[in-house]
Amino acid sequence: MDAQNMEVAALIEKIAGLQAAIAELPSLSPSPEVDRLFTDLVTACVPPSPVDVTKLSPEHQGMREALIRLCSAAEGKLEAHYADLLATFDNPLDHLARFPYYSNYVNLSRLEYELLARHVPGIAPARVAFVGSGPLPFSSFVLAAHHLPDAHFDNYDLCGAANERARKLFGASEDGVGARMKFHTADDVADLTQELGAYDVVFLAALIGMAAEEKAKVIAHLGAHMVEGASLVVRSAHGACGFLYPIVDPEDIRRGGFEVLAVHHPEGEVINSVIVARKAVDAQLSGPQNGARGAVPLVSPPCSFSTKMEASALKKSEELATKELAF
């Protein structure tokens, strides 16, 4: 076995062990043990790696999909915890940085806006949808407050409790950003049909559609109901980051009826890859009729992430969670 294959095998073995340990936890709510295991997981996944998670064995692919679902559940509990904490302040929006990953959302949202502005010149959306917004819709807030000051945001989540938390924090004011943010509960993306035709831009959260088949089905549904020329921003992952989030195949986006404008694997403080697409005006632009694979416009080098920065954020998360669990 050559050095690269040995590196990949060691990484898979380490992540499989962490997945097994996380699966045995009695709860995924913030605690020192939960934070320690997820710190180890993220630290293992974020450095550049030659691993291709799409080529894992069936056993390891099952492990990966189970791990992504655990990550999703843990992320939801972490966000709910901090949403409740922020709600105890008189002015919650002044304390958003208490959430340990807030800066990552700020940087990711800025990146998404810059990619939209670069590949959809002159974009000035009136209505934006964010599908999978959760109890802390930081992305919508950052975009509304700093990048799209004239846009109205409709945030969709399947959890009514998550929307109530978000509404209390971000949608309570009758003026300013809060007046431009609404929250809706939908049991499934398939429940959204005519609504999707009203949006100039739709953002799809990374954890909507865990497995590749689920993600492709969601994208195809969006393609069937979004208006021609509307933009779609999809969060994905690259390399070992694919153990944390689903990886989206740009071909699934094309088959869903979109023209892929850019695929970006960022460096530095952002962990998610970003794909920008546009609902095809002519169905042939998406390429499914002739079966040919179009060239993917890769606009950055492979994803890497500041391990030092992430480890610091995770340490902060553990310290805050430990101190504030009883608030």
pLDDT bin (cut points 50, 70, 90) of residue 210 is confident
CA–CA separation, 63 vs 70, rounded Å?
Answer: 11
CA–CA separation, 5 vs 102, rounded Å?
Answer: 35
Confidence (pLDDT) at 305: 32
Rounded to two decimals, the pTM is 0.85
CA–CA separation, 45 vs 128, rounded Å?
Answer: 32
pLDDT bin (cut points 50, 70, 90) of residue 315 is very low
Confidence (pLDDT) at 174: 64
Strands 127-131 and 152-157: parallel
Q: How many residues does the chain have?
A: 327
Contact 242, 256 (CB under 8 A): no
Q: Which helix (H) or strand (E) holds 160?
A: helix 160-170
pLDDT bin (cut points 50, 70, 90) of residue 2 is confident
CA–CA separation, 134 vs 157, rounded Å?
Answer: 6
Closest CA to 102 of 264, 306, 316: 316
Q: Which residues sit opposite 234 in a β-bridge?
A: 204, 275
**288 has a pLDDT exceeding 60:** no
Residue that wins the pLDDT comparison between 105 and 48 = 105
Residue that wins the pLDDT comparison between 327 and 105 = 105
C-alpha Rg value of the chain to the nearest Å? 19
What is the tens place of the pLDDT at every residue in 18-51?
999 999 999 999 999 999 999 899 889 988 889 9
pLDDT bin (cut points 50, 70, 90) of residue 171 is confident
Confidence (pLDDT) at 60: 97
Confidence (pLDDT) at 313: 41
**299 has a pLDDT exceeding 70:** no
CA–CA separation, 42 vs 243, rounded Å?
Answer: 9
Mean pLDDT of 177-181: 92
**177 has a pLDDT exceeding 70:** yes
For the chain, how are helix, strand and coil distributed in percent, rounded to 5?
Answer: 55, 15, 35
Q: Which helix (H) or strand (E) holds 183?
A: strand 181-185
**241 has a pLDDT exceeding 90:** yes
Mean pLDDT of 95-122: 94
Mean pLDDT of 163-190: 88
Confidence (pLDDT) at 218: 95
Mean pLDDT of 96-121: 94
DSSP 143: I
Exposed/middle/buried for residue 99 (C-beta within 10 Å: 0-12, 13-18, 19+): buried
Confidence (pLDDT) at 319: 47
Q: What is the largest CA-CA distance in the chain?
A: 63
Confidence (pLDDT) at 314: 42
CA–CA separation, 229 vs 208, rounded Å?
Answer: 23
Provide the 3-class DSSP secondary structure of residue 157. Answer: strand
325: tokens are 């669990």
pLDDT bin (cut points 50, 70, 90) of residue 311 is very low
